[in-house]
Amino acid sequence: MTILANVARTRLNTPQHSSANVGFEAKLWLTADKLRHNIVADYTTTSKSKHMNLRKQKREQILDEKCSVLADTIAAIRPVYEKATPRQKALLETVIGAALWYIPKPASAWTGCISLGALKSFHPDSGMTKPTCSEEHVYPRKVTARALLNDQSLTAASLSVDYRKKYGRLHFITKEENKSVQPHQRIAVFSTPELAYEKAGIILITLTDSELTKVKKRNREIIEHHLNARLP
């Protein structure tokens, strides 16, 4: 189309074209050029969207495959686990907990919660040049491993569902908060995620996906809106 446009522009400069025709043909070719650019832009956007969807589908497929083999592994070692000593059980819980690390994050892994400390770190006046968040699993892996080893009804399908809805979910908190909550997530003292965060003094705030994007871009208005909402 670009070649034809150039040819047309050359023809427009020849004497046999009236001024009226020149104006009409120029508008026609400008319109054609705009349509071409729009088509290319739409094609690029569609291609990127399809690529992202394919990656998402592939990740979800891998998640299901790994949950399936892990569920089978847990079922196979459960008789050993049930007869084991407390120290041996702790070892098996560590092994299963480590395996959970290699299951991909679910597409909707984020709970929608970010800590107050993490939110403050993204404020433009926080003094931090490049603030970051830690992805904190709501349920510690070893706690999850014990629950799965004791779940007699566990199947590949139920593990896939539970991992997406419960065990694979995560909050965004600071690195310092991540360290402070760990003593309250040990298997001997852990009862609920809410109590662990409360004991660590971590306050969680709910954001939408679009708000989180703006927070990460250090949008003052959004950050201060949520900070002010915490004021008495």
pLDDT digits over 53-101, tens only?
Answer: 888 889 999 999 999 999 999 999 999 999 999 999 999 999 999 999 9
- Is residue 191 in a domain? yes
- Is residue 44 in a domain? no
- Is residue 18 in a domain? no
The predicted structure's pLDDT at residue 7: 45
Query: Alpha-carbon distance 19 to 15, whole Å?
Result: 10
pLDDT digits over 118-140, tens only?
Answer: 999 999 999 999 999 999 999 99
Residue with tokens 């002010």: 228
- Tell me the two tokens of residue 100: 């959970």
Q: Which domain holds residue 103?
A: 54-229
Query: Alpha-carbon distance 201 to 195, whole Å?
Result: 10
Write down the pTM of the prediction.
Answer: 0.73
Dihedral Cα 125, 136, 134, 204, nearest 10 deg? 0
Query: Alpha-carbon distance 232 to 229, whole Å?
Result: 8
- Is residue 5 in a domain? no
Total domain count, the chain: 1
The predicted structure's pLDDT at residue 4: 45
